Structure 1
């Protein structure tokens, strides 16, 4: 995508009130770019940065970047008409600007995207000299980023901090929520938001940092106090091509340029965690890296026992607490932390452990942290669309699980506890994404559920029927090899699939609607179709319960 249409004007309007004006000459020295302009234009002072011409405000530098289909310089005239005072682009973009007759100073760089974040950091002053002014936390990995950032922020609030959040579900700048459509917003938005948060007295913020954010330089110029790693499983191979390349992009976060400290989860069966811990130690020094080892499938062990992997922290004991868990983390020097979360799933034990140790590594005293965990129960916090309980009898959950590993973990978490209870799953696969995971997801659904209902996720501009069939092939093949599923259905549209799942259910069953979580619109060939799994599931359950009352 060329311009950041994914981020609307609400996100871009969240700018600090006191940007630091920079002349074109100063920005050229910063970026090493060549200036194409009359001599006097070198003193033009810009006060903002924008990637989307539709978001331009007077005084902005318009970063006209090359895109997959169209070059951003195509929209230079629109940006100029809206008040842009200068343009950052590459040689091809400079030619387009000249052809359009746009008479603005142009900064020509071989890689303008790589410099956009650094320019935004300078103008929005989002990296102040006083590093203690704002503690920044980053979380990366395939699964668990959103929940971990919510956990980090909840702990920080319980400790008395004013917090901000930048992530998949929402951006919270103080008390102001801003819709978020990218896991990590574009670089100008990131830096303007961090600066705005600091203006509002927010002294700590947590961010999800996706592989796309690192690949496309969205967090360039940001330096974190602590960066956390959750896991690495198959996803986004349409962008990265291989797991090795995916890992290398994620590893960019764990360098001295980007973070002061790192906390890395080591889970059974995920060799990427060990590899990331080694890479982080090489880049940051062993004294700046903390590892925590957890079992891959924790289950209901009353005493998990310490992991002997040589990690700094290990899971020492684990017990059920309602649908969640209470557990103990033990350091190899004997220190312990008692932790609990009411969110279901062993992966939320991992997310909670990571969040706790990230906060600890930010400089909080262990005794202070333990008292906060005991007194405030901060890890029992709602995370929209993440193992979100919608109803009971049947137990009905909406989750964002949209890749094979997340789906397997989600299915384990909703396993019925009543005799005769069945698991029913509703899910689909996304269009324009890694096609190889579609039959894998079908297989995992058939292995972990009794009734599988395959439907649409976001088809985007793909024909949804072949996507559904590719998923169904994986499920049917698994059935032929003795998988658990007794029934595999292919049903569209998605809302009908959700209502069908509820109609097929019994009170003792569990239903999970997976893949979209908090999302409220479905992309059908470029048209935003209103659809919220939580709303549809609630309506279906209401209808079911009303029917039961009438029958009784």
Structure 2
């Protein structure tokens, strides 16, 4: 793509000739033909690393006026825009041939449920014979091939490159998670959405957003008209507000009036669920899920409504749902033990409460919960998470999650303060070592109990003092179960 054509697309003139064949935000990743996006940051300016990008093969730089004044950019072809991040997505899409013009993209936003809903969408699309892609927290899927993911929603250049690879590989439909960070930072600019869906909103990411209103408005940006169809779960206040301001939104509910409803929910002793989905025309459809929890019924109905909007018959989609299991989301760990063992990604107050409330009816014994909070993130949710878990668990073991650069003991103290202040709280323990905490939970479990290890879910590392160490909750729970069972033989 000629640089002057890219400049014309964003309303600026190129300072010199260049032919662009790729886009990158990371100077160290620059390849021959790339446009390097040198964006202003809170601690440094991307233009300070432009020499690295040019040495790697970058042929031009997108930056702001402050970046353009850096001496290292003298003689380098430039696109200078007052707000380069806002136009980066559109430029990346243009360089990659506008790939989402050739794909049906079904985007899901919300605090909780994005990952599960995206996996349900992928399964429903596949059941209908569509060639599928998936982008989200757990990873990227391209027609069954799996790639790791670093961000819930990749940065705009990486996202458009992935869409281009999917389109080249014959993908027709993509299910993707859309984070509030991605919306606020323009990562999905340049992306065409066939369907946008909203699951719910609860406290999270208030280290990034000013307050809950700011968080809500970031999510609501997905419903500004960029999507052909909108699906909104109205089971919480935020969903009802969003639906009221989104013309033509298809509503979903599991407890009130809506276009799509989930009713007559039945839970099996193993946590599997069946329910009836009621379509806008009144048609009733039986749905079965391996996934436990009332919130997963809501996720499934959101997915049905999205797939219907994308032209997939609900009965076909429901067949695909029956086999869906999501890593780190209500993931059962079975080693022949006489109690339930669950690993889940719940790492915010609302998600912890929903997780434990969903499990309570299935557990005749005690809920034994292992939970921590991440460092360098929203501190306000720590006591609230501690209180949410303490109010529902007979035994709460407060441990470390990803302390990152913070003092782990300080994080635990904030959680414990909330837990101890909760009236009627169960027993509390503090075990900083996460492996030891999991072992202690398993050792204390009796027949009919449930051990719930929450917060990290599918993650395979634990970041302590800025260093990431291998750590997999599912593997640790399995190892603790194996050791405990071996000791009883």
* Structure 1 residues 102 and 80: alpha-carbon distance in aligned structure 2, compared to 1, 3 A threshold: farther
1:332 Cα deviation after fit = 4.8
Q: For 1:418 and 1:78, locate their aligned partners in 2 and report how far apart those are by CA, in whole Å.
A: 57
Equivalent in the alignment of 1:444? 388
Residue in structure 2 matched with residue 403 of structure 1 by the alignment: 348
CA contact (8 A) 2:34 2:59 kept: yes
**Deviation digits for residues 21-58 of structure 1 (CA, Å, limit 9, x no counterpart):** x21211111112343x3xxx33x110100000111110
User: 227, 241, 257: which is aligned to 1:259?
Assistant: 227
1:408-430 deviation per Cα after TM superposition (whole angstroms, max 9, x unaligned): 111123327464x1110001111
Tell me which residue corresponds to 1:412. 357
Check conservation: 1:428, 1:454, Cα contact below 8 A: yes
Count of residue pairs the alignment pairs up? 486
1:230 and 1:200, CA in 2 relative to 1: closer, same or farther beyond 3 A?
same
Shift of 1:371: 4.5
The equivalent residue for 1:272 is 238
SS at match of 1:80: helix
1:144-159 to 2 correspondences below 5 Å: 144-159=113-128
1:139 and 1:280 map into 2 onto residues whose CA distance is: 15
State the Cα distance separating 1:400 from its structure 2 match. 0.2
Among 385, 404, 407, the alignment partner of 1:460 is 404
Partner of 1:109: 81
Aligned residue runs from structure 1 range 181-260, under 5 A: 181-256=150-225, 258-260=226-228
Tell me which residue corresponds to 2:482. Answer: 542
Q: CA deviation at 1:338?
A: 2.1
For residues 280 and 54 of structure 2, the distance between their equivalents in structure 1, rounded to whole angstroms, comes to 60
Work out the CA distance in 2 between the residues paired with 1:418 and 1:204.
Answer: 39
Structure 1's consecutive aligned runs of 4 or more residues displaced over 6 angstroms after TM superposition are none
Could you tell me how far apart the structure 2 residues matched to 1:252 and 1:372 are?
A: 28
Are the counterparts in 2 of residues 414 and 512 from structure 1 also a CA contact under 8 Å? no
Correspondence for 2:330: 387
Check conservation: 1:148, 1:354, Cα contact below 8 A.
yes
Q: Partner residue of 2:251?
A: 291
Structure 2 CA distance for partners of 1:191 and 1:101, relative to 1, 3 Å: closer
Contact map agreement 2:125 2:312 (CA 8 A) in 1: no
Which of 53, 59, 80 pairs up with 1:85? 59
Q: Per-residue displacement from partner, 1:432-475 (whole Å, max 9, x unpaired)?
A: 11111110111111111000001111111111111100000111
Q: Shift of the alpha carbon at 1:102? A: 5.0
RMSD (CA atoms)? 1.5
The residue aligned with 2:22 is 48
- Superposed CA deviations along residues 62-115 of structure 1, whole A, max 9, x for unmatched, are 00111121111111001001100000001111122xx22653111111111111
TM-score by length of 2: 0.96
Pick aligned residue for 2:11 from 17, 29, 32: 32
Contact 2:124–2:317 (Cα < 8 Å) also in 1: yes
Contact between 2:260 and 2:301, CA under 8 Å: does it hold in 1?
no
Counterpart contact for 1:292–1:314, Cα < 8 Å: yes
The answer as to whether partners of 1:352 and 1:379 remain within 8 angstroms in 2 is no
Deviation at 1:280, TM superposition (A): 1.6
1:229 and 1:101 map into 2 onto residues whose CA distance is 43
Unaligned runs of 5+ in 2: none
Question: Given that residues 155 and 379 in structure 1 are in contact (C-alpha distance below 8 angstroms), is that contact kept between their aligned partners in structure 2?
Answer: no
TM-score, normalised to structure 1, is: 0.85
2:446 corresponds to = 506
Correspondence for 1:17 = none
Shift of 1:494: 1.1
Residue 516 of structure 1: how far off its partner (Å)? 0.4
1:361 to partner: Cα distance: 1.0
Equivalents in 2 of 1:347, 1:164: separation in Å? 24
| Structure 2 Cα separation of the partners of residues 339 and 125 of structure 1 | 39
Q: What SS does structure 2 have at the residue aligned with 1:115?
A: helix
SS at match of 2:124: helix
CA offsets, 1:242-292, max 9 Å, x none? Answer: 111111111110122x2100111111xx200101111221xxxx2xx2101
1:497 Cα deviation from its structure 2 partner: 1.0
Distance 1:280 1:81, change over 3 A: same
Question: Is residue 40–residue 67 contact of structure 2 (8 Å, CA) maintained in 1?
Answer: yes
Indicate if the aligned counterparts of 1:62 and 1:79 stay in contact, CA closer than 8 A.
Answer: yes
Of the three residues 95, 98, 108, the one matched with 1:123 is: 95
Change (3 A) 1:190 1:384: same
Measured after TM superposition, the shift of residue 406 of structure 1 is 0.4
- Are 1:313 and 2:260 matched, yes or no? yes
Kept in 2, the 8 Å contact 1:337–1:370? The answer is yes
Other structure's SS at 1:414 match = helix
Where structure 1 has 5 or more consecutive residues not aligned to the other structure, the ranges are 1-21, 296-306
In the alignment, which residue of structure 2 is the partner of 1:11? none
